[in-house]
Structure 1
Amino acid sequence: MVFSTTFSIILADSSISQGRHRRLQKVIKHDIIRYRGISHKAKLRLSTTHSRKLTYEEDIPIEEREAPLKSTIQGSVKLPMYAAAEYEMGEYVVDIDVGNPPTKLRLVVDTGSDLTWVKCKKENRRNFSNNEALNVDKSLTYKPISCESALCKEEFTSLSSLDVCPNVNAPCLYNYSYGDNGLWTYGMFGKDITTLPTTTGKPVKLPNLLIGCSESFTDKDTMKHADGVLGLGINPYAFSLHAVVQFGGSFSYCLVDHLSPTNVTNYLIFGDYKEKAPTQEFMRYTALLVSDSAPYYWLNVKGVSLNHRMLSIDPIVWDRDADGGTILDSGTAATYWAEPTYRAIMDVLVPALEKDHPKIEQYRGDGKLDFEYCFNSTATPFNQKQVPRLEIHFMDGARFKPLVKSYIVDDGPDVSCIGFLEAPTGLNVIGNIMQQNYLWEFDLHQHTIGFVSSTCD
């Protein structure tokens, strides 16, 4: 009987390995390039410019922080947001109206980017064939930014403005990179208006939004199905800060399952989170570590536990001043752990799985370029309750407990994998799959991140 069961599993594994379409293979390849870029950018900026660090003594209790900013409108801005798995993308996207008359653009929601940029059409310059790209010559509200302006020479250096200015009428150019040998886009800066839907049903206009009018970019696969990137990083000229100043100091999103079809949506909200998604618990808050240089959402992590047992991990892993630290990123799908954390987690999860769900040996991922442990999830019925529950513990006492499906992930028909990757450097990145079915609130005024489990219906 044991022989029969083992043989059936081997046959099942063999059939799965032949011609299997892996849902996440292209996503992982993209993620690795992106991770290296973000890590390089974070290390470079943190080492060369001042960063503001919230020490434990400065960790002010939530109730003693500044009062929230008041919104300038009634209700909240509410942008439908959906997973892009149908397009073989690992990100989430929103549709947004830019320009006058408005052009509807599909933009990748990216908390790791501080520049909002779109595929752009401009006379006398290279054009894109995509009909949904923004034609700035037809927008009555588009304003180019001169290369002679102080904005170009000083303010936009953090956004990779170029020191190229043949004449006073020439536009301010950029070559925005997501890191060393990573993803980049080239174009010119301008400002335009965006029209946003609200919870009251009355649209609101957000003027003078900085937009990168991109002529070229490297991420061709992703951008076949998207028109650009909505930059939600921490920068005065990012969409995030431009919007929260008007709409109440915070934004939030609730990520539906990353494999959901495009007709399953939740929302990217600017304003009161109570209008966002159904929850059955109270929102938990943790400190947002603010950096003047690296525009990422840094978290103050204390450690990781599995089934309520803290793992033995050197605290230096969580110290961004020692090339470690942890960021929350909507533009990366998988979650990356620095080697000590990755190994400690795998040393618990693998033994818990391998008895009933042996590894598919044909897939030889090492955890760096591919998932290390994948198994046939149907040969033996998979019970999520047998998987140790992971929790991320923050210094201020908050704990984030992702769903099991957020780290034991579906990677194809009948195949599941431990969905973690070993980080090439010391930076830990909590990707969007780990964030799914949680409502996340980013308060850029009070420097907090809130989270609570939700169906995101």
Structure 2
Amino acid sequence: MKMSTSTTLFILFFMMISSSYSVNFSATRSGSLHFNLPEVKIPILCKTLLEIPFYIVELGFGTPKQYFDLLFDTGSYLTWIQCKPCEVRCFNQKRPVFDPSLSFSYAAIPCHSIDCSLVKSVTYPKLPCSITCKYFMDYHSDVSSMGDFAREVLHLSPNNVIPGFIFGCGQNNSGSPEIFDGILGIQNNMLSLVDQASSMYGRVFSFCLPSEPTSKGFLMLGGSRVLSQFRYTPLVRLSNSERGYNINLVGVGTVDQNVSVPHFPVLIDTGSRLSLLPSSVYVPLRSAVRKALSKYTPIAKDPENPFDTCYETRSLKEGGIPPVDITLQFEGGVDLKLPQSRVLQDLSLATCIPIVELKNGKSGILGGIQLQTLEVLIDVANSRMGFAEKKCG
């Protein structure tokens, strides 16, 4: 069958930055299956601004390498950093902005090259260009970046590098509160770190988000794991073009009730500071929290605060918080218990449920707070996600 030009480009691009990598399995004496892959483990730190957590990884770019703090984001696919000369604008960052002229391995992707056609075939929007290949990323918040596609050496650790890594060199950027210098895109796309590193580590990775600045989490590409330690739910596709890590939410359990709902896809998004859940799940969850905290009076709704259930932090600390028993239920019989730290978040003077009710919509979001201290395994090759309760240490 004759392929369209876009299909041909897509396949060529896949061959350039990835290779077909079969996931090897081995068995222990007890019979438990393991993944058997090379691995690299990268620390994840938790930084906060106004009590809002941001999950940060430190990576090196260039030769010689220059280090940067990147927001770890499973909800987007492109990795980008700010670059000199900051032709339009760069936001403030604590480290010096990346200077391509200081790296002899940096190579901007020319506008009319095959490379440019390839990256444009898997990105949106497709920007016009004249000299260098252009990108634009908008995160539906205060963060955005526009600049040049380029290739560079990416340093994951002192002994693990990816040569020719395709990334965005940002010349017009906005939104970072001096917490991060760019974004590390992990979403399922040919430009993501997972796909560009797949020839070395396969298409399997896991992460654990720390719950506070004094603790550490990790991002592990590849690696050896006992499969039985995880509870699995299938990944679902919302459309042919959508590549997010979505899983089906099927119910919520509380002390008083167990509510089943029609399959409702939620995006696993570590870059989101809040979760969006349908009314059928959020209302029973909120009722359980309010019942457990019935001796306290909720604070009146603040129009600038997206959360509808908040309490005075000082009162809760003085009077104590009783346990709140809530479980999110996913397809395949996977139950995700939410301890107090994943149900209530301190926001300076107020403590709130960090979840927003989604009254309309066909899909939701499960943000970073509800994932803290879990090891989340994403097996892209086998289209499934696994959860394991463990401390990040």
TM-score normalised by L of structure 1 = 0.71
**Which position in structure 2 is the counterpart of 1:8?**
none
**Which position in structure 2 is the counterpart of 1:294?**
242
> Which secondary structure state, in structure 2, belongs to the residue aligned with residue 235 of structure 1?
coil
**Which position in structure 1 is the counterpart of 2:338?**
402
**Which position in structure 2 is the counterpart of 1:171?**
132
Between the two proteins, what is the percent identity of the paired residues?
23
**Which position in structure 1 is the counterpart of 2:174?**
218
> Which secondary structure state, in structure 2, belongs to the residue aligned with residue 147 of structure 1?
coil
**2:321 matched to 1:374?**
no
* 8 Å contact from structure 1 (residues 153, 163) kept in 2: no
Query: What number of residue pairs does the alignment pair up?
Result: 357
**Residue 163 of structure 1: CA displacement?**
4.0
**Cα 1:338–1:115 shift into 2, 3 Å:** same
How far apart, in 2, do the equivalents of 1:147 and 1:353 lie? 59
Supply the AA of the counterpart residue of 1:83.
C
Q: Which has the higher strand share?
A: 2
How far apart, in 2, do the equivalents of 1:250 and 1:140 lie? 31
**Cα 1:312–1:453 shift into 2, 3 Å:** closer
How far apart, in 2, do the equivalents of 1:367 and 1:299 lie? 30
**2:97 matched to 1:133?**
yes
**Which position in structure 2 is the counterpart of 1:358?**
297
**Residue 409 of structure 1: CA displacement?**
2.1
How far apart, in 2, do the equivalents of 1:250 and 1:297 lie? 13
How far apart, in 2, do the equivalents of 1:371 and 1:208 lie? 47
**Cα 1:367–1:420 shift into 2, 3 Å:** farther
* 8 Å contact from structure 2 (residues 307, 354) kept in 1: no
**Which position in structure 2 is the counterpart of 1:284?**
231
**Which position in structure 1 is the counterpart of 2:123?**
159
> Which secondary structure state, in structure 1, belongs to the residue aligned with residue 283 of structure 2?
helix
Deviation string 1:103-158 (CA, Å, 9 cap, x unpaired) is: 011100000111100011149x4575755322112211111111112443454254
Equivalence map 1:35-74=2 (5 Å): 68=23
> Which secondary structure state, in structure 2, belongs to the residue aligned with residue 391 of structure 1?
strand
How far apart, in 2, do the equivalents of 1:446 and 1:440 lie? 15
**Which position in structure 2 is the counterpart of 1:272?**
223
Q: Which has the higher helix share?
A: 1
Which structure 2 segments of 5+ residues have no match? Answer: 1-20, 26-35
**Which position in structure 1 is the counterpart of 2:279?**
339
**Which position in structure 1 is the counterpart of 2:57?**
94
Supply the AA of the counterpart residue of 2:73.
D
**Which position in structure 2 is the counterpart of 1:245?**
199
> Which secondary structure state, in structure 2, belongs to the residue aligned with residue 84 of structure 1?
strand
- Equivalent of 1:207 in 148, 157, 163: 163
How far apart, in 1, do the equivalents of 2:50 and 2:58 lie? 15
* 8 Å contact from structure 1 (residues 241, 444) kept in 2: no
**2:146 matched to 1:186?**
yes
> Which secondary structure state, in structure 2, belongs to the residue aligned with residue 240 of structure 1?
helix
**Residue 293 of structure 1: CA displacement?**
1.7
- Of stretches 134-143 and 374-383 in structure 1, the one that deviates more from structure 2 is 374-383
Deviation string 1:399-438 (CA, Å, 9 cap, x unpaired) is: 211222111222236x532232123742321111100111
How far apart, in 2, do the equivalents of 1:251 and 1:407 lie? 26
**Residue 67 of structure 1: CA displacement?**
6.0
**Cα 1:408–1:311 shift into 2, 3 Å:** same
> Which secondary structure state, in structure 1, belongs to the residue aligned with residue 241 of structure 2?
coil
**Residue 239 of structure 1: CA displacement?**
1.1
How far apart, in 2, do the equivalents of 1:154 and 1:308 lie? 54
**Residue 164 of structure 1: CA displacement?**
2.3
Supply the AA of the counterpart residue of 1:358.
T
How far apart, in 1, do the equivalents of 2:162 and 2:256 lie? 46
How far apart, in 1, do the equivalents of 2:337 and 2:138 lie? 33
Deviation string 1:40-70 (CA, Å, 9 cap, x unpaired) is: xxxxxxxxxxxxxxxxxxxxxxxxxx96258
Which structure 1 segments of 5+ residues have no match? Answer: 1-65, 276-280, 320-324
Deviation string 1:246-286 (CA, Å, 9 cap, x unpaired) is: 213211111111x323xx312111122649xxxxx922111
How far apart, in 1, do the equivalents of 2:99 and 2:336 lie? 43
* 8 Å contact from structure 1 (residues 112, 296) kept in 2: yes
* 8 Å contact from structure 1 (residues 304, 391) kept in 2: yes
Aligned-residue Cα RMSD (Å) equals 2.9
**Which position in structure 1 is the counterpart of 2:18?**
none
**Cα 1:87–1:107 shift into 2, 3 Å:** farther
Equivalence map 1:392-431=2 (5 Å): 392-412=328-348, 415-423=350-358, 425-426=360-361, 427-431=363-367
**Which position in structure 2 is the counterpart of 1:446?**
382
**Residue 353 of structure 1: CA displacement?**
1.8
* 8 Å contact from structure 1 (residues 371, 419) kept in 2: no
**Residue 366 of structure 1: CA displacement?**
7.2
